[in-house]
Amino acid sequence: MNPNNHDLFTPYRFKNGVELKNRIVMAPMTNYSSNPDGTVTDEEIAYYARRSKGVSMVITACTYVTPNGKGFHNEFAGDRDEMIPSLNQLAKAIQDQGAKAILQIFHGGRMCPPELVPHGDIVSASAVPAAMTGAKIPRALAESEVEEIIDAFGETTRRAIEAGYDGVEIHGANGYLIQQFFSPHSNRREDRFGGSIKKRMTFPLAIVDKITSVVKEHADDSFIVGYRFSPEEAETPGITMADSLKLVDTLAERDLDYLHVSLQHIFSKARRGVEDVNKTRIDYLLETIDNRVPLIGVGSIYTAEDACKAFETGVPLLAIGRELIIDPDWVQKVAEGREDEIVTEINKDKQEDLVVPDPLWNVIMNTPGWFPGV
């Protein structure tokens, strides 16, 4: 191993005592490859198994907690007990390769395609469409429905526990329902779930509290709970870096095992809401968190050098996404000093070797610029 990469392969211990074998995590990525009934496919299981050997922890693609929260075609389900055997298959495939299995749970809110939710009834914090062409106007959830969704996050966590997962990640990022409640763009409510920034945190924090209470009741201390967030929105009004720092400051005091920032590039800089626009978002976040909870960094990490530079920011854990699709053996190559063998552009002739299901492969091939080489 190159001595420069040594720190990436040191173990990391969470406050609950669970130890990760190294600092590299597989980032959650939608794969569009489940069965229509919400069960995982053999191709999906093979895809995860292929990428679970080197990393210390795998965060799955998101699974929906209620029928009206399904955000993607061919997304696997976590909204009912009948899905527990399917969920277990995926957890076991990951764990059999030596990685911790973390189930990412979410509700798509106004981002759900109408054809995927009952009666096409798209819901959100308020009746405000997403700022994108063709976006549908969602229906504002009643308070009682908000409470039901909070309970549903708890129920899906129980299913994850029964299915043998090592933890769950609350998906509060990328414009989905939890973020919609936190955002002043999508949340124009005047009840206890909207208004001031403190009130807009009510829904995300209620979900955190519900999940941690379910974990205390149904799991032991080794069960991991993380929270993913997007630090800023382009919309006005929208989430600013300052807003996210307030959220992160509050989350750092909750009973969470990690926070996970969603970034396109790990060295991206804050857009607004903070004084020093030359400071990276990661720097601001680490400063605010102040070692109270580990932060997973992510964003455009392709080479071993990229990973080392990212690790030098001070984040204790790094998530890698697209690069693990491009080169499933990335971690092993770095560990064995074979960095010169790392592939950083997707090989269009190697789908079978890369073990990528057809639906995901087709999306990659038809989305120019998403992956290097396409």
Is residue 373 in some structural domain?
no
Number of domains within the chain = 1
Residue with structure tokens 């009746």? 127
Up-side HSE of residue 308: CA atoms within 13 Å toward CB? 12
Is residue 23 in some structural domain?
yes
Cα–Cα distance measured from residue 319 to residue 336, given in angstroms and rounded to the nearest whole number? 20
Cα–Cα distance measured from residue 265 to residue 226, given in angstroms and rounded to the nearest whole number? 21
Print the domain residue range for 83: 3-365
Is residue 29 in some structural domain?
yes
Digitized pLDDT (tens) for each residue of the chain, 374 residues in all: 888 899 999 999 999 999 999 999 999 999 999 999 999 999 999 999 999 999 999 999 999 999 999 999 999 999 999 999 999 999 999 999 999 999 999 999 999 999 999 999 999 999 999 999 999 999 999 999 999 999 999 999 999 999 999 999 999 999 999 999 999 999 999 999 999 999 999 999 999 999 999 999 999 999 999 999 999 999 999 999 999 999 999 999 999 999 999 999 999 999 999 999 889 999 999 999 999 999 999 999 999 999 999 999 999 999 999 999 999 999 999 999 999 999 999 999 999 999 999 999 999 999 999 999 99
Beta-carbon contacts of 372 under 8 Å, excluding residues fewer than 6 positions away, are 302, 322, 326, 344, 345, 346
Rounded to 5 degrees, what angle do the CA atoms 209, 215, 216 make? 90
Is residue 168 in some structural domain?
yes
Query: Which CATH number characterizes residue 75's domain?
Result: 3.20.20.70
Tokens coding 311: 């690790």
- Sign (positive/negative) of CA torsion 325, 326, 331, 333? positive
Tokens coding 165: 């997962």
Is residue 105 in some structural domain?
yes
| Beta carbons of 71 and 108 less than 8 angstroms apart | yes
Kindly report whether the peptide bond that precedes residue 237 is cis, defined as omega within 30 degrees of 0: yes
Active site residue: 47, 64, 176, 227, which one?
176
Cα–Cα distance measured from residue 288 to residue 200, given in angstroms and rounded to the nearest whole number? 20
Is residue 8 in some structural domain?
yes
Is residue 374 in some structural domain?
no
Rounded to 5 degrees, what angle do the CA atoms 160, 161, 162 make? 90
Whether 64 is a known active-site residue: answer no
Is residue 21 in some structural domain?
yes
Tokens coding 335: 């560990």
Q: pTM of whole model > 0.75? A: yes
